[in-house]
């Protein structure tokens, strides 16, 4: 009888141990499921937050682009109206008044300058549109950019006879670059330097050749460009926060950056020694095989 009772007791202990094992196993499985749910939930939450961040970032970028486009439309409208109004005034003056030969020549010269401004503005807009459509190929050649740069400077000086442009240009510097693109680069950089610097201050242009690389520098003595905006200025339609009151469309430096990258060059903006900015363009002196 005692042995039978002992056996029953042992069986009960074994059953209790089995029940405890099953409960522990169930609890372990439940914990694993909770950990799995928590892990999946954390991943889902992280992905959702990342998605919200990306959407907000996209909306912010789109908002900035729309803002720049509005600024561009306002600027370009003003840029068109100004030379058109001036051109109309010159023509009306020629038609309605008896002018001397000298006065007629002056009026005609002013009218030609206005048509040049319109032509340059239209060219920038059309080039930007062709870039967006992927329809603007370049045709690099072994080009004497010393001569080409001097031609650009002379053209700018005719348009701005009251400005001083200092030159430090090495002779017979050759680069592998599209001639029209190089003219666009130099013209836009020079126009930009003259626009944002005082009329009584000179703009300096340098061109040097060393170790198969060419450095083109254009320095002004203007207000300078804040460090946080130096890369943004090459974005399409971007205008400096301090550029209100200045002419411009926000396309010039965008075109400069595009043409330099197409020729595997680089452009950087540095502070000038005293004040202003230095734009430095580095180009290849020969074809990159």
Q: What is the pLDDT of residues 248-257, one digit of tens each?
A: 667 888 899 9
Distance CA 114, CA 108 (A): 10
What pLDDT is stored for residue 163 in this prediction?
Answer: 92
What pLDDT is stored for residue 256 in this prediction?
Answer: 92
What pLDDT is stored for residue 124 in this prediction?
Answer: 79
Distance CA 251, CA 128 (A): 7
Tokens 């430090």 found at: 168
Confirm if 75 and 248 have CB atoms less than 8 A apart.
yes
Cβ neighbourhood burial of 159 (10 Å; 0-12, 13-18, 19+):
middle
**pTM of the entire predicted model:** 0.65
Distance CA 140, CA 189 (A): 20
18, HSE (Cβ side, Cα atoms, 13 Å): 6
Tokens 């999946």 found at: 40
What pLDDT is stored for residue 62 in this prediction?
Answer: 65
Distance CA 87, CA 107 (A): 9
With cut-offs at 50, 70 and 90, classify the pLDDT of residue 141. Answer: very high
Confirm if 190 and 155 have CB atoms less than 8 A apart.
no
Per-residue pLDDT for 37 more than 70?
A: yes
**Mean pLDDT, rounded, of the chain:** 79
With cut-offs at 50, 70 and 90, classify the pLDDT of residue 238. Answer: confident
Percent of the chain whose pLDDT exceeds 90 = 27
What pLDDT is stored for residue 72 in this prediction?
Answer: 55
Among the listed ranges 16-30, 134-148, 225-239, 259-273, which one has the minimum average pLDDT value? 16-30
With cut-offs at 50, 70 and 90, classify the pLDDT of residue 289. Answer: very low
Output phi, psi for 143, to 5 deg.
-110, 135
Distance CA 281, CA 253 (A): 12
What pLDDT is stored for residue 263 in this prediction?
Answer: 92
Confirm if 268 and 100 have CB atoms less than 8 A apart.
no
Percent of the chain whose pLDDT exceeds 70 = 77
Per-residue pLDDT for 1 more than 70?
A: no
With cut-offs at 50, 70 and 90, classify the pLDDT of residue 153. Answer: very high
Domains parsed from the chain with CATH numbers: 142-284 (3.30.565.10)
In this prediction, residues 190-198 reach a mean pLDDT of: 89
pLDDT tens by residue, 68-119: 565 555 556 656 667 777 778 888 888 877 778 888 888 888 888 778 777 7
Phi-psi region of 141 (alpha: psi -120 to 50; beta: other; left: phi over 0): beta
């Amino acid at each position: 009888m005692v042995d039978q009772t002992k056996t029953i007791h042992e069986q009960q202990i074994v059953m209790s141990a089995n029940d405890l094992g099953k409960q522990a196993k169930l609890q372990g499985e439940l914990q694993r499921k909770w950990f799995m749910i928590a892990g999946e939930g954390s991943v889902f939450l992280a992905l959702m937050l990342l998605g919200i961040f990306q959407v907000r970032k996209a909306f912010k970028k789109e908002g900035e682009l729309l803002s720049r486009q509005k600024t561009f439309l306002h600027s370009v409208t003003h840029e068109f109206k100004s030379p058109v109004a001036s051109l109309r005034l010159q023509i009306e003056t020629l038609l309605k008044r008896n002018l001397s030969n000298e006065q007629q020549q002056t009026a005609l010269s002013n009218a030609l300058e206005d048509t040049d401004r319109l032509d340059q503005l239209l060219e920038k807009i059309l080039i930007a549109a062709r870039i967006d459509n992927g329809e603007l190929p370049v045709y690099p050649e072994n080009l004497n950019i010393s001569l080409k740069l001097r031609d650009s400077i002379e053209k700018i000086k005719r348009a701005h006879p009251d400005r001083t442009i200092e030159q430090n240009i090495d002779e017979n510097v050759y680069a592998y670059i599209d001639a029209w693109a190089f003219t666009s680069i130099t013209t836009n950089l020079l126009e930009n330097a003259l626009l944002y610097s005082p009329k009584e201050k000179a703009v300096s242009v340098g061109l040097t050749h060393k170790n198969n690389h060419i450095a083109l520098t254009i320095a002004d003595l203007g207000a300078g460009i804040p460090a946080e905006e130096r890369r943004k200025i090459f974005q399409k339609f971007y205008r400096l926060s301090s550029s209100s009151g200045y002419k411009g469309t926000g396309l010039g430096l965008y075109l400069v950056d595009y043409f330099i990258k197409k020729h595997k060059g680089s452009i950087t903006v540095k502070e000038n020694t005293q004040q202003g900015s230095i734009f430095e363009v580095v180009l290849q002196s020969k074809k990159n095989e």
